[in-house]
């Protein structure tokens, strides 16, 4: 078995939830080692981590330029053949590390392994379960049908070979929330092959203080990532490319500040929008509304 699994833990003021995170890693035994890359926290995060650190675990606290920068530092310094990262408020599920290592050992052609996650609340109570399902670059870029259609990957359930990190990394400093999605796009653009494990690998904590709660900003960053990727003409179907671009352009119209052209005028100028299901649905609703108005006359 190739091991141990080596995890980066980017943190900043994570003292509230970090003990549970590190306890979940300690429960994996020798299958996990970790490097906590802290951004000079002021709440005792680094001190808590040092109490949990075993031989081979590393705690480093220094100023950084955010989560992506901390991850890049950790990945560059921590070694490991099979790697991943987990936030200071999430948990690794029991037995997850051994299952991931075994999956990579049994499938030498695979570059990336992902599984399922449980949603937990601030108190650690399980509130739901998610099963991602993405196996191709086209599916990853199809954020409207696949990603926003609840087939997305959730960050702490994804693990990869270091060789893939060296090919597709580092994490981009351009994005605050969707940097992990941008990295996965780079991975599949580089030809990475993914394998899904039908088991819970991590628990993702949902709470009001987490930065990923800003869904609108995350969606905006993802649209920009997809727009840039499609401009490089990756090998996906022409139909999917046209539909995704049309939807992104329509979104840009929707989000544009006033004053802006009416929908009818904008559609006449951009007939390619008709490839987007949301546009066709809007037209259908308008036609039905017009029909009901005429029936009342």
Distance, in Å, from the CA atom of 47 to the CA atom of 23, rounded to the nearest integer, reads 15
CA angle (204 as vertex; 188, 22 as ends), nearest 5: 105
pLDDT digits (tens, 9 = 90+) for 115-158: 999 999 999 999 999 999 999 999 999 999 999 999 999 999 99
Cα 279 → chain centroid:
27
Q: Is the whole model's pTM more than 0.85, yes or no? A: yes
pLDDT digits (tens, 9 = 90+) for 1-21: 568 999 999 999 999 999 999
In which element (H, E) is residue 23 found?
Answer: helix 18-26
With beta carbons less than 8 A apart as the criterion, state whether 197 and 99 touch.
yes
Residues in the chain, total: 297
């Amino acid at each position: 078995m190739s091991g141990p699994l080596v995890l980066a833990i980017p943190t900043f003021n994570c003292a509230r939830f970090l003990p549970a995170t590190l306890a979940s890693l300690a429960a994996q035994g020798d299958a996990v080692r970790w490097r906590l890359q802290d951004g000079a926290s002021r709440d005792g995060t680094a001190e808590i981590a040092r109490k949990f650190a075993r031989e081979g675990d590393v705690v480093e606290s220094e100023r950084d330029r955010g989560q992506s920068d901390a991850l890049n530092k950790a990945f560059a310094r921590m070694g490991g053949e099979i790697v991943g990262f987990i936030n200071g408020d999430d948990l690794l599920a029991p037995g997850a590390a051994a299952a991931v290592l075994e999956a990579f050992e049994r499938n030498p052609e695979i570059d990336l392994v992902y599984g399922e996650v449980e949603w937990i609340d601030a108190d650690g109570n399980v509130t739901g379960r998610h099963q991602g399902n993405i196996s191709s670059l086209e599916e990853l870029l199809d954020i409207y049908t696949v990603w926003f259609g609840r087939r997305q990957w959730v960050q702490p359930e994804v693990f990869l070979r270091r060789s893939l990190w060296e090919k597709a990394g580092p994490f981009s400093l351009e994005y605050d929330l969707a940097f992990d999605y941008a990295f996965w796009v780079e991975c599949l653009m580089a030809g990475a092959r993914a394998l899904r494990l039908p088991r819970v690998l991590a628990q993702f904590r949902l709470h009001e203080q987490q930065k990923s709660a800003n869904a609108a900003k995350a969606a905006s960053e993802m649209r920009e990532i997809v727009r840039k990727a499609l401009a490089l003409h990756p090998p996906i179907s022409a139909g999917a490319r046209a539909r995704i671009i049309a939807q992104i352009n329509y979104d840009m119209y929707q989000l544009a500040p006033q004053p802006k052209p009416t929908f009818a005028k904008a559609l006449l100028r951009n007939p390619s929008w008709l490839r987007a299901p949301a546009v066709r649905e809007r037209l259908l609703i308008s036609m039905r509304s017009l029909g009901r108005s005429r029936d009342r006359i």
